Chains A and B, each alone.
Chain A
Amino acid sequence: MLAEKYPERIKQIFAKYPDKRSAVMPLLYLAQEEYGWLTEEALREVAGLCDIDPTQARSIAGFYTMFAEKPKGKYWLQVCTDLPCALRGADQFFHELCEYLGVDPEHGGTTDDGLFTVEPVMCLAACDKAPVLQNNFHFHENLNIEHAKQLIEKWRAEAAAEEDKDDEAE
């Protein structure tokens, strides 16, 4: 439960606003961080914390592209394919990245091992550094496909190392 696990952070969030309801977005981010995506349970918890109806929490979650209503890969990659970036080759970059990961090159998707989700998104306010992608909200700029493949392999290795560590711990 968020309330038991993060009492301090939740208190800080509420302290920012005169109205509890304003905390809904920060709390959705917290829930997403905790559970990986916004499950029914997560939405109910957030709704309970800021005194709104769970259906309202769900419609807010559904309104924004950065809230995950379904499970995402461990590495959630959002690639900008909007006009300014597309003028500098972002569509092709996106297709090649999808092909490299083995997902639908038109719409993206999640890899079978659940490690990567890749999605096309609208302008990320970094058009002068196209192509760009966000990995779990952190930016990578001035990419080309070779560079992106290296990043993918780095993340793959990182995830494998983490798993080894978990295995040892058990």
Chain B
Amino acid sequence: MTHILLRNRDIPDIWQFETYTANGGYEALRQAVTEMTPDEVIQVVLDSNLRGRGGAGFPAGRKWSFIPKDAKTKYVVVNADESEPGTFKDRELLEKNPHQVIEGALIAAYAIQASGVYIYCRGEFWDLAHALEERIAEAEAANLAGEDILGSGWSCPVRVHLGAGAYICGEETALLNSLQGLLGQPRVRPPFPAQMGGGLYYQPTVVNNVETLSNVPWIIRNGAEAYRQIGTERSSGPKIFCLSGHAANPGNYELPLGITFRELIFEHGGGVWKEKALKAILPSGASGPILPATDEVLETPLTYEDVAAVGSTLGSASVILLDEDTDIVWAAAKMIHFFKHESCGKCTPCREGTYWLDRIYARLLSGQATPHDLEVLETVPQQMDGLTLCALGQFARSPVWATLEHFREEYEQYVGLREAKAERA
């Protein structure tokens, strides 16, 4: 299969400007800027049904269409914070096929007539962020970015901003605050980033994920109809699935949306390591509910709708495999520890809730937990339900309730309930 996103797999030197342009690179931007109106570009992306790849699956064209046309200053912000445990697709795109990300961002910028693009890279992308600045300079030198792009009169500089290690800065409003030099905590919405008062420097702003924007050049060149041929009716296009954990061959796999878990894991990913049986799947990193590896789950197509229908989320498609020997309580403890560490502390239910959960898991793992702890464990996520300012506080609930729902007996073993019951019997 030839790749649409990970074209570096087919053309290894594609990170080089000359190679990228020799293979059709920046032709889509040229076509958009010289032959299409901004509204026509938005319409094509709307028709393509390209949905955001950063987690929520919101249609990109719709987001772009919300930007008020009369606003003088507007921005495109590329979310390259990639910090969800199990996600490493944006890294490969930025490292190996960077011009396609830049081109996609510039097409989005043209569509909303943005005055600038910022690419917010997580701080740990230090090396690639500095390389990215060189790639941007190459595009600028060819009049594809910066002043008076392709003689159109539209100017749009592209800049890189480095984060410094904080998962919450992937949340779009926290990201905007961080970029403004404020504390990287989420904002109260509305106003949403696309609205006046809600975006970067409080100007209307489109925030899109790296992978989302990497789709855009292909869509412009090949048309919405061709794009919709890939994937399913409601989940269109290719997706990069990040396979990690106990996968035999961990890595990125670009495949059409709608392939099943079984196809991804066993046909493409080489199955489970050490020829172990598969116990459970985390389809969206630490942020989506765990699924037991039943036949029903394995036959589920990887689309936004189908993964939701079996009780989890597709998210950014960071598929973590857990083999038969995995201690589920330990795995849940790891995820809770992550959320406790990454809670920005702005709202009490999230700050205190993750703190308490982390403490209970530490007691569980050290063999000190009582049946009462298990009861508390169950009530804490309920107390966080719907009461947090951003989705992190909601994501942090699922490692608890979903592992309890599917693997309760492992918890009972930890609190000695089983033994007690057995004794009584």
Contacts and interface: CB of A to CB of B under 8 A. Distances in A.
Interface string A60-99: 1001111100000000000000111011100000000000
Contact of A67 (B164, B180, B242, B286): B164
Given A23-B181, A25-B161, A121-B165, A64 B123 contact: yes
Interface stretch (B31-39, B85-93, B101-109, B367-375): B85-93
B126 A123 contact: no
Nearest to A62: B183
Interface in B241-284: 242-246, 250-252, 282
A128 interface: yes
A127 interface: yes
A4 B180 CA distance: 25
A87 B181 contact: no
Interface string A140-161: 0000000000000000000000
A127 to B, nearest CB: 4
Interface stretch (A14-22, A109-117, A162-170): A14-22
Interface stretch (B139-147, B221-229, B299-307, B330-338): B330-338
Interface residues of B, number: 52
A66 to B, nearest CB: 4
B85 A21 contact: no
A134 interface: yes
Most chain A CB atoms below 10 A, which of B162, B163, B164, B250: B164
A59 B166 CA distance: 13
Contacts of B244: 84, 87, 127-128, 130
A36 B162 CA distance: 18
Contacts of A10: none
A126 B126 contact: no
Interface string B213-249: 0000000000000000000000000000011111000
Nearest to A22: B181
Nearest to A50: B181
B183 A59 contact: yes
A122 B88 contact: no
B122 interface: yes
A128 B342 contact: no
B85 A84 contact: yes
B85 A139 contact: no
Contacts of A124: 124
B358 interface: no
Contacts of A16: 159, 161
Contacts of B422: none
A25 B181 contact: yes
Given A21-B182, A66-B123, A125-B90, 19 more contacts: A19-B201, A21-B180, A25-B181, A60-B181, A64-B163, A82-B338, A83-B86, A83-B286, A83-B331, A83-B338, A87-B321, A125-B83, A127-B320, A128-B88, A128-B242, A128-B251, A130-B244, A134-B124, A137-B127
10 contacts: A19-B180, A21-B180, A25-B161, A29-B162, A63-B184, A64-B165, A64-B166, A83-B331, A84-B85, A126-B88
